[in-house]
């Protein structure tokens, strides 16, 4: 598989981290953000990564998404081993195989909603699938907003545009980093609902980093990170089971 091809067959595991470590700084100021993480992400499943602040969950996402290189260990997405790729290859990998939804500042302020949505495809020089585009626009309720700039959209609308952009290229994995952090409860529920629908109806593998148990409860599996390691995993989580687990690991 090259960085630009879609996967030929759908494997059961979308991504895998093996003995992943990440160390920042040197000498006395050394920070061990990840201290040996072993993790698999299942295809077509909604995985939530949870943990207290400083647990390393964002660093883990960085490494899985090809935004950063680990100090040691392996990251595999599909057939590709990310840890052996150069910066340009990683860039092209992200373009084709990863979709991002950030907590805030998702969109380029000088582009319209439509242009923002098509940005990764533009960068790859690929033609958009317009039927897919129209469907996304309809499902996410953005038809009226396509020509508006981010400054003219509400927080919830901006996140929906970001989701549409993430889904537009049908990536291998969608990474969402605290997507509801800036939203009120109504918009949050909306955004999480869309993410889950894309997993259920489109088979889109989605990984969400969050610290809210209510958000994590939308996932199929919750992975709890503490002190740079996987503490525990919960399948089919509920808010209560998550809270229990959190209490147990003292988070």
Partner 1 sequence: MRNVILASMRTYARRYVAALVAVVIATGFIVAINILSAAARDGANETVGRQYRGADVAATDAEGPREYASLRKRALADRDVTAATVNWRGWIEAALPDGPKTVSVGSVATDRGLRWQDTSAGRLPTSDGEIAMSASQAKRHHVRVGDVVKLDAGDHELKLTVTGIVDDQDGPLRSVLYVPERTFASLGDVAEPVDEVFAANGDPAAVASRLDRATTGLTVQTANAYERELRLRATQGIDIFQKLILVFAGISLFVGALVIANTFTILLAQRARDLALLRCVGAIRAQIARSVVAEGLLIGAIGAAIGVVLGYAIAVVSTAAIGHWSPSTPMGTPTLTLGGVLLPVLLGIGVTTAASYLPARRAGSQSPLAALQPQEAVHVRTRSGAARLVFAAGFLLVGTAGLVLGLQGVLVSGLLGGMLSFVGVLLLTPVLVPTAIRTVGPLARRAGVPGRLAHANSMRNPRRTAATSTALLIGVTLITSVVVGSASISNKVNTSLDTNHPADLVVSASDGSLPAGIGKRLAAVEGVSRAVEVQGTQARLDGQEETVLGVDRAARTAVHGDVLRGLSADEVVIPAESRDFDDVGSGDKIMLSVGGQARELKVRYAVGLGDAPMVTRSLLDEMGAQTTPRAAWIRATDSADAGDVMSDVHAITKASDLDITGGLPDRADILQILAIVLAITVGFLAIAVLIALIGVGNTLSLSVLERVRENSLLRAMGLERSGLRAMLAIEALLMAGVSAALGIGLGTLYAWFGVKTVADDIFASAPSLTIPWAQVAMIFVVAAAAGLAACVLPARQAARIAPAAGLVAD
When the beta carbons of 58 and 159 are compared against partner 1, the nearer one is 58
Instruction: Quickly count: other Cβ atoms within 10 Å of residue 214's Cβ.
Output: 14
Question: Could you give the CA distance from residue 220 to residue 99 in angstroms, rounded to a whole number?
Answer: 19
Confirm or reject binding of residue 58 to partner 1 (CB under 8 A).
yes
- Residues 157-196 interacting with partner 1 (rule: CB under 8 A): 177-178, 181-182
Question: Within 13 Å and on the Cβ side, how many CA atoms surround 21?
Answer: 10
Q: How far apart are the first and last CA of the chain?
A: 40
When the beta carbons of 42 and 227 are compared against partner 1, the nearer one is 227
Question: Could you give the CA distance from residue 121 to residue 12 in angstroms, rounded to a whole number?
Answer: 26
Question: How does strand 31-42 pair with strand 13-24?
Answer: antiparallel
Nearest 5 degrees, angle CA 229-CA 204-CA 40? 25
Residue 22, exposed/middle/buried by CB under 10 A (0-12, 13-18, 19+)?
A: buried
- Out of 53, 131, 143, 185, the only residue in the binding site for partner 1 (CB under 8 A) is 53
Confirm or reject binding of residue 235 to partner 1 (CB under 8 A).
no
Please work out the total of residues on this chain that contact partner 1, with binding judged by CB under 8 A.
41
- Out of 32, 36, 42, 68, the only residue in the binding site for partner 1 (CB under 8 A) is 68
Confirm or reject binding of residue 126 to partner 1 (CB under 8 A).
no
Question: Could you give the CA distance from residue 90 to residue 22 in angstroms, rounded to a whole number?
Answer: 18
CB 19 within 8 A of CB 38: yes
- Out of 122, 135, 138, 244, the only residue in the binding site for partner 1 (CB under 8 A) is 122
Confirm or reject binding of residue 221 to partner 1 (CB under 8 A).
no
Confirm or reject binding of residue 67 to partner 1 (CB under 8 A).
yes
* Beta strand extents in 106-204 (DSSP E only): 173-177
When the beta carbons of 95 and 229 are compared against partner 1, the nearer one is 95
Q: Which alpha helices (H) appear in 1-76, and where do they start and end? A: 57-64
For residue 32, list its beta bridge partners. Answer: 23
- Out of 44, 119, 146, 202, the only residue in the binding site for partner 1 (CB under 8 A) is 119
Confirm or reject binding of residue 125 to partner 1 (CB under 8 A).
yes
Confirm or reject binding of residue 48 to partner 1 (CB under 8 A).
no
- Out of 23, 44, 85, 123, the only residue in the binding site for partner 1 (CB under 8 A) is 123
When the beta carbons of 98 and 230 are compared against partner 1, the nearer one is 98
Confirm or reject binding of residue 24 to partner 1 (CB under 8 A).
no
Binding site for partner 1 (CB under 8 A): 53-54, 57-59, 61-62, 65, 67-68, 87-88, 91-92, 94-96, 100, 102-106, 108-111, 119-120, 122-125, 149-151, 177-178, 181-182, 209
């Amino acid at each position: 598989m090259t960085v630009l091809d879609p996967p030929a067959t759908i494997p059961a595991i979308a991504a895998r981290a093996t003995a992943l470590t990440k160390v920042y700084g040197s000498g006395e100021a050394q920070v061990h953000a990840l201290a040996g993480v072993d993790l698999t992400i299942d295809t077509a499943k909604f995985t939530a990564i949870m943990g207290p602040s400083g647990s390393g969950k964002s660093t883990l996402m960085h490494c899985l998404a090809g935004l950063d290189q680990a100090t040691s260990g392996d990251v595999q997405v599909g057939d590709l081993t990310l840890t052996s790729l150069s910066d340009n290859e990683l860039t092209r990998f992200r373009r084709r195989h990863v979709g991002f939804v950030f907590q805030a500042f998702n969109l380029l302020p000088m582009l319209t909603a439509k242009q923002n949505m098509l940005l990764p495809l533009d960068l790859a020089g690929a033609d958009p699938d317009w039927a897919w585009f129209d469907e996304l626009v309809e499902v996410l309720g953005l038809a009226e907003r396509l020509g508006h700039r981010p400054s003219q959209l509400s927080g919830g609308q901006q996140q929906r545009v970001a989701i549409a952009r993430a889904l537009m290229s049908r990536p291998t994995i969608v990474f969402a980093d605290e997507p509801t952090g800036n939203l009120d409860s109504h918009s949050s529920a909306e955004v999480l609902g869309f993410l889950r629908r894309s997993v259920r109806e489109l088979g889109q593998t989605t990984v969400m980093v969050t610290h809210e148990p209510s958000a994590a409860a939308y996932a199929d599996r919750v992975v709890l990170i503490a002190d740079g390691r996987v503490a525990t995993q919960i399948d089919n989580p509920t808010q209560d089971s998550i809270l229990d687990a959190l209490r147990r690991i003292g988070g």
